[in-house]
Structure 1
Amino acid sequence: MTWSIHHVNLPAPDVRASARFYTEILGLTEGTWVFPPAGEVGQISADPARLTVFPCPAAAEGANAGLHLIRPEPEFARKNGLDHNPSIGGHVAIQVPDLDAVIARLTAAGIPFSFAPTYAIPRMRHVYVYDPAMNLLEINEIVR
């Protein structure tokens, strides 16, 4: 199966201080988070003090590809109907062309996962799962 890295999500208790580091010290350019249309947006803050993106022009297809900084939010999973909390501890997001195939393999193996339809990134479905070392992964797919 082909895949690519869509984004890396890092927790940042002070998102603005971290954003200054990435802009002023590393020279990255901060972008603007692109949200799904109304009605598809989950319980996610649009406040740049809570969430920001540093787009990577060479990153995988899709809005918000690149580096994400998010303020850890203990209630994030509950508010979005997930068992896994992507705002805490960081995660890498792997983009695949067939999320249903991944879901079928996870289900067949008895591996618990959280499915999230479009809620944070336009036209993207997500699965959150722990690997054997307990690293949180996001597996996602662009919905065409």
Structure 2
Amino acid sequence: MIRGIHHIALNTGNFDRMQHFYGTTLGFEQVGDPHAWANDPTSDRAIGLRDSAARQVFFKAGNVYLELFEYTNPVARDGEALRPCDRGYTHFAIDVQDIASEYARLSAAGMRFAAEEPCDFGPIKAVYGWDPDGNVIEIQQIEESEAASFEKLGDRAPA
């Protein structure tokens, strides 16, 4: 039985910078110490890569974990960052209680956003922004009465 989404994973070329952004700037709680591996046939088999080497850390982000990787082998293919309309995993959303203050705080910390202020859709306020690697992050504030509100996630949502 599927219980829900456990984590979202990001791969970066600058582990320390991204660890700081997600841990300090966004305030996610780091879970344990970073883990590293190399020359591990079990890891290679599980992820479908040969001769992989990486370091990894988890962050607790409210009702889901965020997993951060930095692979040193094989070397990542670089390309343009995904746009919200591209196929694949294009963003994740962070639910906030006061979007105006979070927008101001994150902007002051250097986070770039698509709009000069959060957009008001009535019961939903939202805006897309980018982490230091160019991954899209939506910040949103949804009224509790809305069908997809954070509160309606049940007992897994923080009070």
TM-score for both structures, normalised by structure 2: 0.31
By relative contact order (CA 8 Å, sep 6+), the higher-ranking structure is: 1
When you count strand as a share of all residues, which structure comes out higher?
Answer: 2
Larger Rg: 2
